[in-house]
Structure 1
Amino acid sequence: MQEEQSPAEAATKPRTVVVVLGPPHSGTSAMTEALRCLGVDLGKAENHRPPDKTNPKGVWEDLLVIDLCARGLASFNLPWYGLQLFNPEDWNTPRGRDLLAEATDIINRRMAETANGIWGCKNPQMGRMIWLWMQAFERANCSDR
């Protein structure tokens, strides 16, 4: 069993985030499972949305990422099913800065749990919030893929 690191300890080691982007039901879960088989750490199973009838093998979506994306969309009155992207200036507001800080914290927490410094995640809404996540990866000292 791997020993967890503190976020501060994790920040001193090489860190890579692998993000799978794509719309719902487009094969992103299969791609994410393939990355897991190749050694990308997707985190603990209890941190993932549970499998369902449309995806019985699992969706590999982190519950904290799901929650942050849902609240981010709602805070700027964007429906989850839409295609509208955020305006980069949206993130330069108190709400946007709070979401950025929270995204950075999520990344640091998950990186502290990885054995190999490579954490993978996916959520269909991450693409719409890509500016936020790219900034959070940078703040968390992660290279992204």
Structure 2
Amino acid sequence: MQPSKDNPNGYWEDELIVDINEKLLHSLGYQWCSLTWLNLADLRQSKLYEVLRRKAVSYLQQLLAKNKKVSLKDPRMCILLPFWLEVFKELDADIKVVLVKRHAHSIAKSLLTRDQFDNEYASQLIYLHWAAVARFLPKTYPRILINYEEVRRDENGIRKSLMSFLDVESSVPSNLFEEKLEHHATSFNEASASGFTWQQDMLMDFPNANVDEYRIKSLATFYYALNAAYGRRNHRQHVINEIKNFADNYKTKKVILYGASELASILIGQLSDAIVLAVDHAASEDHRIARFGKHFYAPHLIKETEHDVIVVAVTGRKDELIHFLSGYTSQPITFAEECLF
């Protein structure tokens, strides 16, 4: 790819590989910065899947026929990893993986400068890329982890390790790393303050982290709203701010929070002093649910607790939940998800 103002020395991405990735994403209604989780079944929904798979296999076979070793780099390959693993199965080649880990906060600041993504949106985007690698990359593939921050301190040492792993020699000058082009630097000992706690843990443990796909899929409504917000040029305000505005309406009320969902974690942060009771359908008299620093109790306690409003942190099933909760209260029932759309 050609140089740009952000990277005057140029990029290492192969333009045809980028084109394949872009076409696959676009065929599914996404772009490189979309917040979405794509497994192999999802990717195969694309009408271009098989055409692009054959194109990728053919192109790599041509490269391998001319070169003993071929390297590929494109961040899109992270979120499209199941597709590329299918491509690699068709090749008569040994696959080695170089994982480059840079502090998430530094990446987020770069995305803020270049793409005007705020910190929370950028953090979710980073999480999805890293989580896909941790979840889908086969453990049978030899891999090496390069910490970006260590390259700054010991470029020659990192290069020797990388050359040994790949069994190659390099004629690249030893001063390839230019600090003036590193626009945002963060110590790797600094924990990321963005995203949910379980996401921060995964980023710290990458690439040896466990990835809970169920938790990721539970954020589907949250991601849908973020994608909608950032898909409009004149509407870059983060959905987190919308939730904060929503919560402001209830900070002087006595609030019962329903639903121990990920959305509830944000509302708890905004309404902590106003919440007089947290309940969840899965809780019972003998079993309360501890999440986000709160205990969620059985819904029957709603009748025994003085309150002004019930704020529902569960997405979907609105009519069903209104019917259910109306059996416990005559006070207003409001749904936090309404501020997301």
TM-score with structure 1 length normalisation? Answer: 0.59
Where does structure 1 lack aligned partners over 5 or more consecutive residues? 1-48
SS in 1 for 2:86: helix
Equivalence for 2:92: 141
Equivalence for 1:73: 25
Task: Give identity over the alignment, percent.
Answer: 25
Equivalence for 2:5: 53
Q: How does 1:36-51 map to 2 (within 5 A)?
A: 49-51=1-3
- Quick one: which amino acid aligns to residue 119 of structure 1? V
For the 8 Å contact 1:104–1:140, the answer to whether it is kept is: yes
Equivalence for 1:132: 83
1:112 aligns with 2:65: yes
Aligned residues: 95
In structure 1, what is the Cα distance between the partners aligned to 2:10 and 2:64?
21
For the 8 Å contact 2:39–2:82, the answer to whether it is kept is: no
In structure 1, what is the Cα distance between the partners aligned to 2:78 and 2:27?
17
Deviation at 1:100, TM superposition (A): 1.2
Counterpart among 86, 103, 112 of residue 38 in structure 2: 86
Q: Structure 1 residues 130-139 or 91-100, which shifts more?
A: 91-100
In structure 1, what is the Cα distance between the partners aligned to 2:44 and 2:2?
34
Deviation at 1:113, TM superposition (A): 2.8
Residue deviations 1:61-83 (CA, integer Å, cap 9, x gap): 10100100000000111122123
Equivalence for 1:64: 16
* Residue 84 to residue 91, structure 1, CA distance change in 2 (3 Å): closer
Greater length-normalized contact order (CA 8 Å, ≥ 6 residues apart): 1
For the 8 Å contact 1:85–1:129, the answer to whether it is kept is: no
For the 8 Å contact 1:107–1:137, the answer to whether it is kept is: no
In structure 2, what is the Cα distance between the partners aligned to 1:67 and 1:92?
18
SS in 1 for 2:30: coil
SS in 2 for 1:144: coil
- Quick one: which amino acid aligns to residue 82 of structure 2? W
For the 8 Å contact 1:104–1:136, the answer to whether it is kept is: yes
- Quick one: which amino acid aligns to residue 19 of structure 2? D
Equivalence for 1:31: none
* Residue 124 to residue 89, structure 1, CA distance change in 2 (3 Å): same
Residue deviations 1:30-89 (CA, integer Å, cap 9, x gap): xxxxxxxxxxxxxxxxxxx11222112221110100100000000111122123232311
Q: Which runs of at least 4 in structure 1 moved beyond 2 Å after TM superposition?
A: 90-95
In structure 2, what is the Cα distance between the partners aligned to 1:97 and 1:144?
22
Equivalence for 1:37: none
Deviation at 1:91, TM superposition (A): 4.2
SS in 2 for 1:120: coil
Whose radius of gyration is greater, 1 or 2?
2
Counterpart among 65, 81, 101 of residue 54 in structure 2: 101
Where does structure 2 lack aligned partners over 5 or more consecutive residues? 97-341
